[in-house]
């Protein structure tokens, strides 16, 4: 659901799918056609090149690690950079939206335990540079497919697998087309409620507090539900006969970090900020 002002001082709820085609919500938010949406910082990598690092493999070690960063002064600086560059302000904190795992079809005839086992595997990825790089960082052959076309792509063999959090994969029915779940834990995916920056600046401090408080509550609610759902779904998949693979995660981490050392996209990252993100894992 997204929001658009109809009367001054009010937020009116609309179903975004009826108003804007897929991929146009951020433009609509920036232009003030809608007031609020749920976004990822890396969505804005075309205007803030370093933002692509937030879609890199293993940048966060845990949900707590990601939450510490997005609630820190460094995280707030990122929010401010997005607001200045795009007229979209992500609100402080984060909404955990799943630890991304690999779901593979029968076309992959061996258990995937190392990046080498993914060689030649067509892995569905969103058609953004950072996501294509993520697929390569895992050792796969990234294949761009729109999210709402993923089920058919799995069914028809256009792709051999996809990556998403378990609750998202279940809700979209991807489990119906896949037989192997590889627990790579490669991306702690996080989203943020975001508001049009002009709209934000038009609010009083008290009103900003109300909006931020509502975002905090929504972030926490979704995070709790996703965490609970993921814990339950592992056993659900196992009971349904899905092969659950616990791979050599250290091998995936090593492969990903070596990949990003030479990946041109990573040369545009803010390395000082990246190092600070990594340091926060131990705080």
Extents of the domains making up the chain = 2-282
Q: What are residue 254's phi and psi, to 5 degrees? A: -60, -45
8 Å CB contact between 37 and 45 = no
- Report yes or no: 138 and 155 within 8 Å, Cβ to Cβ: no
The DSSP 8-state label assigned to residue 174 in this structure reads G
The CATH class, in words, for 2-282 is alpha beta
Question: For the chain, what's the residue count?
Answer: 283
Element (H, E) at 273: helix 271-279
Q: How confident is the model over 139-163, as pLDDT tens digits?
A: 999 999 999 999 999 999 999 999 9
Nearest Cα neighbor of 274 from 47, 39, 62, 57 is: 57
**pLDDT for res 166:** 96
The pLDDT assigned to 111 comes to 97
- When pLDDT is averaged across residues 83-111 and rounded to a whole number, the result is 96
What pLDDT, on a 0 to 100 scale, did the predictor assign at position 100? 98
pLDDT at res. 22:
46
pLDDT band at 229 (very low <50, low <70, confident <90, very high): very high
Nearest to 187 by CA among 166, 164, 208, 204: 164
Task: Specify the pairing of strand 122-125 against strand 141-144.
Answer: parallel
pLDDT at 24: 56
pLDDT above 50 for 123: yes
Q: Which is more confident, 269 or 14?
A: 269
Position 11 scores a pLDDT of 45
Q: List pLDDT tens digits, range 67-78.
A: 999 999 999 999
SS3 124: strand
* Closest CA relative to residue 190, chosen from 16, 53, 55: 55
CA 219 centroid distance within chain: 14
pLDDT digits (tens, 9 = 90+) for 171-227: 999 999 999 999 999 999 999 999 999 999 999 999 999 999 999 999 999 999 999
Task: Write down the mean pLDDT value for the chain.
Answer: 91
C-beta atoms surrounding 109 within 10 Å = 7
3-state DSSP assignment of residue 135: helix
Per-residue model confidence (pLDDT) at position 143: 98
As a whole number of Å, the end-to-end CA separation of the chain is 35
Q: Is 281 helix (H, G, I), strand (E, B) or coil?
A: helix
- Asked if residue 246 has pLDDT above 50, the reply is yes
pLDDT bucket at 135, cuts 50 / 70 / 90 = very high
The pLDDT score that the predictor gives to residue 23 is 52
pLDDT at 25: 74
pLDDT tens figures, 8-60: 344 433 444 445 444 557 888 899 888 888 889 999 999 999 999 999 999 99
Question: What pLDDT is stored for residue 28 in this prediction?
Answer: 86
């Amino acid at each position: 659901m997204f929001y658009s002002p109809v009367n001054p001082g009010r937020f009116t709820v609309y179903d975004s799918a009826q108003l804007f085609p897929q991929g146009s919500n951020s433009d609509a938010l920036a232009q003030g056609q809608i007031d609020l949406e749920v976004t990822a910082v890396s969505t804005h990598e075309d205007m803030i090149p370093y933002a692509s690092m937030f879609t890199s493999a293993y940048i966060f070690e845990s949900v707590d690690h990601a939450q510490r960063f997005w609630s820190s002064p460094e995280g707030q600086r990122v929010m401010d950079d997005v607001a200045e560059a795009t007229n979209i302000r992500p609100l402080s904190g984060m909404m955990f939206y799943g630890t991304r795992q690999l779901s593979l079809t029968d076309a992959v005839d061996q258990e995937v335990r190392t990046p080498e086992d993914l060689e030649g595997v067509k892995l569905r990825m969103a058609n953004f540079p950072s996501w294509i790089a993520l697929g390569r960082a895992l050792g796969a052959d990234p294949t761009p497919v729109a999210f709402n076309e993923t089920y058919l792509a799995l069914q028809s063999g256009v792709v051999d697998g996809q990556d998403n959090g378990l609750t998202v994969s279940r809700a979209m029915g991807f489990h119906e087309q896949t037989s192997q779940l590889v627990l790579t834990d490669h991306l702690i995916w996080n989203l943020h409620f975001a508001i049009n920056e002009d709209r934000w600046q038009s609010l009083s401090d008290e009103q900003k507090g109300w909006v931020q408080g509502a975002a905090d509550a929504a972030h926490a609610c979704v995070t709790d539900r996703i965490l609970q759902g993921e814990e339950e779904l592992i056993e659900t998949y196992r009971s349904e006969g899905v092969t659950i693979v616990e791979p050599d995660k250290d091998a995936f981490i090593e492969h990903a970090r070596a990949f990003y050392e030479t990946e041109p996209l990573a040369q545009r990252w803010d390395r000082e900020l990246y190092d600070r993100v990594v340091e926060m894992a131990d705080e």
